[in-house]
Amino acid sequence: MTFITRACLAASVVLCFAIEPASAQYNVFNSQSGPVTDVIINGQRAPLASVRQFERRCQIGMAAGRWWMDNNGDLGPQDGPATYNINTCEELPGAEAERERDREREKRKTENRCTNFPGQGWICSGSGFR
C-alpha cells in the first residue's frame, strides 16, 4: 500500500473504536479522480476505496476528521498523540486515556449550565442543580 493510501485508510479510525465495523462515520464526495471521503490524512482526502479496504482489513469503522500519520503507520488526530497503528490494526498505549479525556471535555461543556427561555424561565443542568 502506498503511504497516502495507508494514511487515507487509517485517518478516521481514532474515533471509531467502539463503532461496529460496518458503521461508517464519514461522508463521500465525487471528485475527478473518483469518490473521496472527509477522512483527511496529512492534508489529503482519503479515497473511498482505500477507506473501505482498511475497514475490512482491520474490522473497524472509520470517522471523518483530520489526522496525521507517520511512516510507521502510527495515526493520531491532528495536533494530538498517535492512538492507532494502521499496519497492526492495534490501538496504541494511551489511546483509551485520550478517549477518556475527550469524554471528560465533552461532559464539562454541558455541566453546570443554564439556558434561559424568554418568557418561560431557566433550565439548568449539572451536579450543582439537582
- For 33-79, how does the pLDDT look when each residue is reduced to its tens digit (9 = 90+)? 999 999 999 999 999 999 999 889 999 888 899 999 999 999 888 88
Is pTM beyond 0.75 here?
no
At residue 15, the pLDDT reads 39
Q: Is the pLDDT of residue 13 over 60?
A: no
Strands (E), 6-51: 28-31, 34-41, 44-47
7: pLDDT confidence band, cut at 50, 70 and 90? very low
112 and 127 in contact (C-beta within 8 Å)?
A: yes
Q: With pLDDT > 90 as the criterion, what percentage of the chain qualifies?
A: 31
